[in-house]
Amino acid sequence: MMHVHRTSRNRCHETGALTLLAVLCSLVFVTPAWSAALTETQRSAVLAEADEAYTAAIAKKREQPAAADALFRTAASKYQVLVDDGVVNGKLYYNLGNAQMQSGRIGAAIHSYRIAQELIPGDARLEQNLSFARSQRRTKLAPTGTQALTDALLGWHGHLSWRAKFIAFGIVWCGLWLTVYAMLRTSGGRLLAGALAVAAVALGVSLVVDLIGQREAGEIVGRDAVIVRGGVTLRKGDGEGFDPAYEEPLDDGVECTILEVRPNWMHVELTNDAEGWVPAEVIRPVIVPEPRPAT
């Protein structure tokens, strides 16, 4: 049996070669991230191409549905290029959602609309399109009484922008103290003061929630999310071997809240309070990404 004795020089050469190989491998994997950065001119060109494809698809939708579908997918892919490049604005996500919806990707469309909703809350066209997308889901989950009451009482929180809340808070706060001053001089005004106090507290809490949400933008536990693939089984544990936790597979576009994250799996709660685990690859958290400037 032969034994090879390695000198220190040989070992140095091997170490250097391995180091060089590691660096080259890292460059291979990092290069796509570098090449993904677009200039403002390139971003404008991609946006124009996406808008052009979408407009052409609308024109062909009735008489050439197959060609229109291909164009809608092209438009969606180009809008997605801008999203992946770090462009963050409500109109872009709204257009992306429209293109995804037109090409049959209900879950992806709802996810895009939900992010647009964070950026342009209260937009009438956006709310209409989001409602329509939700109506197209095959899985119908009736919200529980608690969920319905919460939506009725706190639905305004997601439909008002941060600026609108701040202005409303300032108006209510000033009105509260003016009413208190009036109470000190007259016998009336207690009911109005109480109502203003409740409104001020509600708006203040809403602002605090927004600030915490912005600070913890990278955290996904507690976030709303959307399932973007059909036929997903909600399971009782984080593995395919666990029994189903819900009687029917979940359709593309089902919305939920993330309760826990484990490797490759997420524990979620549906709008009807059902809980279970789904593969992480089929779910997208509703989180507004950090914008990246063009190169």
Domain coordinates of the chain in residue numbers?
40-135, 145-215, 224-285
Q: Give the pLDDT of residue 142.
A: 72
Q: Specify the amino acid at residue 4.
A: V
Q: 């992946």: which residue's tokens?
A: 84
- Equal CATH topology for 40-135 and 224-285: no
Its CATH architecture, for the domain 224-285, is Roll (2.30)
What is the pLDDT tens value at each position of the chain, 295 positions in all? 434 344 444 444 444 444 444 433 443 444 344 445 899 999 999 999 999 999 999 999 999 999 999 999 999 999 999 999 999 999 999 999 999 999 999 999 999 999 999 999 999 999 999 999 999 999 888 766 554 555 455 545 444 545 565 666 667 666 666 666 566 556 555 666 666 666 767 766 665 655 554 444 347 899 999 999 999 999 999 999 999 999 899 999 999 999 999 999 999 999 999 999 999 999 999 999 999 998 8
Q: What is the CATH number of domain 40-135?
A: 1.25.40.10
How many other CB atoms sit within 10 Å of the CB of residue 293?
A: 8
Q: Give the pLDDT of residue 180.
A: 62
pTM of the complete model: 0.68
Q: What is the DSSP letter of 283?
A: E
Q: Give the pLDDT of residue 10.
A: 46
Q: How far is CA 270 from CA 116, 225, 255, 264, 281, in A?
A: 22, 10, 7, 19, 17
Q: CA dihedral defined by 115, 119, 120, 121, rounded to 10 degrees?
A: 70
Q: Give the pLDDT of residue 21.
A: 42
